[in-house]
Amino acid sequence: LAPHFATAKRMLGVVENPLDTPADEVMRTVAEHMGVSESFHPTPVGVFFGEPGVEVPDPFFGGDGPARSGCVVCGNCMVGCRYNAKNTLDKNYLYFAERNGTKVFPEHTVVDIERIGDEWHVTTEPSGSWFRRRRTVFVAKDVVFSAGALGTTRLLLELAEHGRLPHISHRLGYQTRTNSEALVVSVAASRDVDYSEGIAITSSIHPNPETHIEPVRYGKGSNALALLATILVDGGPGVARHVRFLKQAASHPITFLRSLSVWHWSERGIILLVMQTRDNSLRMFRKKGWFGTRLTTEQGHGDPNPTYIPEANEAARIAADAMGGFGGSTINEVLFDTPTTAHILGGAPIGPDAEHGVIDGYHRVFGHPGLHVIDGAAIGANLGVNPSLTITAMAERATSMWPDKGDVDTRPRLDSVEPIGTH
């Protein structure tokens, strides 16, 4: 993947984060207390760090791309950059695709795909429409599923359930990964320091070879996420975690009441995203219920998916002490023993054949020529890092092996051919 990582970095405008924010000072303290000071490093990010708020000609593609503006470190990367500084796809891949003749149809949701003859008929509806659902059908010989791991796997499972993909591998939905993640928070009691300053993620540390921790932020006013958090509660064997939660709330009522407040939460808080490379997985499938079928998951192969990572809680406590505040866990982990993740991966794993995977090494769906999966659904492992660059590199690799229009396809046949014996 090395050459494709290089291409992906160039296209996404990856640079090392030059900022040093209050949250990074906290992370240095966490790293020092955990004995891994040397592991602290800035993150590689896709942001233009020019003069804040000043528009300049394209700085990434030799002037061939769109004009850009310098980052103003508002912290709103994940709710949508308002200053033309974040390297979103409409400023690189989609920008050049449209300029070279590709027609983009936004706000279309695929609801059905059917093979008719040697072509695929893709039926869509307006995204978000409740009443007038005027359908549009697109016809193509090749269809690429790129709706994200959750969207792609959900659509493939629905199509298989409705008989549209009779030869799809039974491995569909397996090797669904959560990046072995946990989310914890540290919240300051006062507003003396603004932790929303910066970009979404500015640095990271590695408490051990399989664990990676990053400080995550939202901009001023993005406080609703606080409703998903509560006081920090450890897990582990013995007493059930929800019982520990009740004891913790009773023992520290003031801290518990503070955890209910969303007051300037984005400015007072740091979200710690903890990722691991451990081999654990889920199986995603559709389950019948009273009102039809719905998407659900069950434990897959490998270790159980973690609902409690000790290093995460340790880091949250250290950070909270440094900030003069308190640590927090997510409600679903504490009360329902359900893990939280920011990165769903897998569900359509690569394999040598349909017995072991949904797609081949060229990202072609076994049993259904013309269908391809090129997104996070093809990632078959917990990466332990933010996956966007790896997904892009794999997409670059897959598309680099496609023949240009009119050229001979040098890839091996998707389906095996039975030999014809001599007589």
Residue 409 lies in a domain: no
Indicate the pTM of the whole model.
0.94
Average pLDDT over residues 118-138: 92
Are the beta carbons of 303 and 280 closer than 8 angstroms? yes
- Could you tell me the CA-to-CA distances from 318 to 32, 185, 205, 386, 408 in Å, in that order? 10, 11, 13, 23, 59
Please state whether 317 falls in left (phi above 0), alpha (psi between -120 and 50) or beta. Answer: alpha
Are residues 319 and 352 located together in one domain of the fold?
A: no
Cα–Cα distance for residue pair 242/381, rounded to 1 Å: 30
The region of weakest confidence among 57-61, 277-281, 287-291, 414-418 is: 414-418
Strand order across the beta sheet in which 119-126 lies: 108-116, 119-126, 136-140
Are residues 336 and 353 located together in one domain of the fold?
A: no
CATH number at 380 reads: 3.50.50.60
Q: Give catalytic status of residue 343 as yes or no.
A: yes
Residue 377 lies in a domain: yes
Residue 420 has pLDDT above 90, yes or no: no
Are residues 165 and 73 located together in one domain of the fold?
A: no
> One of 343, 363, 368, 372 is an active-site residue; which one?
343
- Could you tell me the CA-to-CA distances from 133 to 33, 124, 129, 291 in Å, in that order? 57, 9, 6, 21
Task: Express each pLDDT in 310-322 by its tens digit.
Answer: 999 999 999 999 9
Residue span of the structural domain in which 311 resides? 13-97+178-343
Cα–Cα distance for residue pair 127/123, rounded to 1 Å: 12
Give 405's pLDDT tier (boundaries 50, 70, 90). confident
The per-residue pLDDT for 418 is 52
Are residues 86 and 131 located together in one domain of the fold?
A: no
Number of structural domains in the chain: 3
User: What would you report as the CA-atom Rg of the chain, rounded to the nearest whole angstrom?
Assistant: 24
Residue 357 lies in a domain: yes
Residue 308 lies in a domain: yes
Are residues 267 and 157 located together in one domain of the fold?
A: no
Are residues 279 and 296 located together in one domain of the fold?
A: yes
Cα–Cα distance for residue pair 230/420, rounded to 1 Å: 67
The per-residue pLDDT for 131 is 79
Are residues 234 and 125 located together in one domain of the fold?
A: no
Dihedral pair phi/psi, residue 322, rounded to 5°: -65, -30
